[in-house]
Amino acid sequence: MAEITASLVKELRERTGAGMMECKKALTENNGDIDASAEWLRKTGQVKADKKAGRVAAEGRIAVAQAAGKAVLVEVNSETDFVAKDDNFIAFANAVAKAALESGAADAEALKAVKLASGETVEEARAAVIQKVGENVQVRRLVRFESSNNLAAYVHTNHRIGVLVEVKGGDADFARGVAMHITALNPPHNKAADVPADFVAKEKEIELAKMSDKDKQKPAEILEKIISGKIAKIVNEVTLYGQSYALNQDQTVEAAAKAAGADVLRFQRLEVGEGIEKVKEDYAAEVAKAMQV
């Protein structure tokens, strides 16, 4: 029998997200073999899905589905990046996105009762995936666009960021280019008119406070021009139209849109785990405690 060390338990815990005692038992049952132990944890499904529901799931992937005139993004979460790359998890996320597109579900809550191609509801399939992967799995968010305008749905190669864009005019290539730009630069707003007035007022207050006493003594019209120039730069930084276009740094997105005969009407960007407070675990202490049992 191979020695079940604390480092082995820790490695299996980090790889699978299973509890320490589950990992210790799995390693004992599989003579210390990490791969076999990970598979054993999945097959045995020792912890029920409802017991996993309270565990933080801040990893995962963004799944996308698109058809004529409509597109969806779905965020499906797991506890670890390891499970986010699992074939069972990926198949579930893709199936959920397809069902979301076809069903017309408006949000993640409505999506629970939607049936997948397998005949299971999304909620039933989620519970089954939890049993397979041994982690809490959640369908967290759903974004849907429907329009007769150009729609672009783009998911980054790491599957952690997805973007939907609606563009009037232009073509599919331009719409996709804008979606890629938003993925990389993450602008909070679309155009200058979309920036909240209180944000602008606050920035003016800050810029004025930063000015020297000498500058503050300048004529009101000169002072206003200086402040306005600074604010314009800040607004450009926080708007899609004001940013330098990622696919052509020599022009802004606004200039690129004008050249393409297009107008970006709206966009939505999802990034896995944003807004979720991750729990920092003391693996060393947890392993030590588990090894003493």
Band (279; pLDDT cuts 50, 70, 90): low
pLDDT of residue 223: 84
pLDDT of residue 270: 97
pLDDT of residue 48: 47
Q: Residue 165 burial (CB < 10 Å; 0-12/13-18/19+)?
A: buried
Q: Which range among 28-32, 234-238, 277-281 shows the weakest confidence by mean pLDDT?
A: 277-281
Percent over 90 (pLDDT), the chain:
63
Fold of 6-54+279-292: Helicase, Ruva Protein; domain 3 (1.10.8)
Q: Which range among 37-41, 97-101, 121-125, 193-197 shows the weakest confidence by mean pLDDT?
A: 37-41
How many whole angstroms separate alpha carbon 40 and alpha carbon 247?
47
The model's pLDDT over 87-113, given as tens digits with 9 standing for 90+, comes to 999 999 999 999 999 999 999 999 999
* CB 111 within 8 Å of CB 96: yes
* CB 183 within 8 Å of CB 267: no
Percent over 70 (pLDDT), the chain:
89
The model's pLDDT over 10-53, given as tens digits with 9 standing for 90+, comes to 888 777 667 788 888 889 999 999 888 877 876 765 444 555 55
Those residues whose C-beta lies under 8 Å from the C-beta of residue 281, and which sit 6 or more positions away, are: none
Closest CA to 173 of 69, 65, 256: 256
Determine the distance from the C-alpha atom of residue 176 to the mean position of all C-alpha atoms in its chain, rounded to a whole number: 18
pLDDT of residue 218: 84
The model's pLDDT over 166-191, given as tens digits with 9 standing for 90+, comes to 999 999 999 999 999 999 999 999 99
pLDDT of residue 292: 59
**pLDDT at 277 exceeding the cut of 80:** no
**pLDDT at 141 exceeding the cut of 70:** yes
Instruction: Sketch the domain layout of the chain as residue ranges.
Output: 6-54+279-292, 57-146
pLDDT of residue 47: 43
Closest CA to 80 of 289, 273, 285, 274: 273
**pTM for the complete prediction?**
0.76
Average pLDDT of 57-61? 90
Which superfamily does CATH assign the domain made up of 57-146 to?
Elongation factor Ts, dimerisation domain (3.30.479.20)
